[in-house]
Amino acid sequence: MRVFLNPGHAPDGNPDPGACGYGLRECDVAKNVADLAAGYLTAAGVEVVGSLQSDSLHEVVTASNHSDADVFLSIHCNACNGSANGTEVWHFYGSGAGETLASCIQNQIVTSLGTTDRGTKGAKPGVNGLYVLSNTDAVAVLVELAFIDHAGDAQLLRSQQDDFARAIARGVTDYEGAC
């Protein structure tokens, strides 16, 4: 299996760090988790064929599509004025393989870290579509690790990035076994 990783938002936060909260920036958390996940995936025998952090979604999708990846993972942190918490994983609406991959990753994160299970969600173009899910050739998911602006979730994002990375890697290998 070949995996392409996309840590969400611009490198070094310029021009867009993504969501921020409790001294954390989404771009930094996503990059750290993606780098750690790449190591765990490689150790598990999964080929990581690329990783790109960019503020250009077109650039990310093009790089993934040219990599001949089987799986595309975009890693993010959620935010909602400090009022929501938990993990959710998005997949392209109507993609059975995407839904399976999303469920595998969701289950691993929720079980391993005890985050609130916000479920998997289908992104439908024209309704709630996400560009990277709609335009990537590989089976694609967007992982919202936790809410960066929620005190409890922010503490997990600060102190358990390695656990998030391990859970993502296990989710991918679970998915590989399900196919």
Give the long-range contacts of residues 79-83, CB within 8 A, separation 24 or more. 79/19, 79/20, 79/21, 79/26, 79/147, 79/148, 79/149, 80/147, 80/149, 80/150, 81/149, 82/21, 82/147, 82/149, 82/150, 82/151, 83/150
> For the whole model, what pTM was predicted?
0.97
CATH topology of domain 2-178: Aminopeptidase (3.40.630)
Cis peptide before 15 (omega within 30 of 0): yes
* Domain spans, the chain: 2-178
pLDDT value of position 177: 84
Per-residue pLDDT of the chain (179 residues; tens, 9 = 90+): 999 999 999 999 999 999 999 999 999 999 999 999 999 999 999 999 999 999 899 999 999 999 999 999 999 999 999 999 999 999 999 999 999 999 999 999 999 999 999 999 999 988 888 999 999 999 999 999 999 999 999 999 999 999 999 999 999 999 998 85
Quote the distance between the C-alpha of residue 15 and its chain's center: 20
Interatomic CA distance for residues 67 and 47, integer angstroms: 11
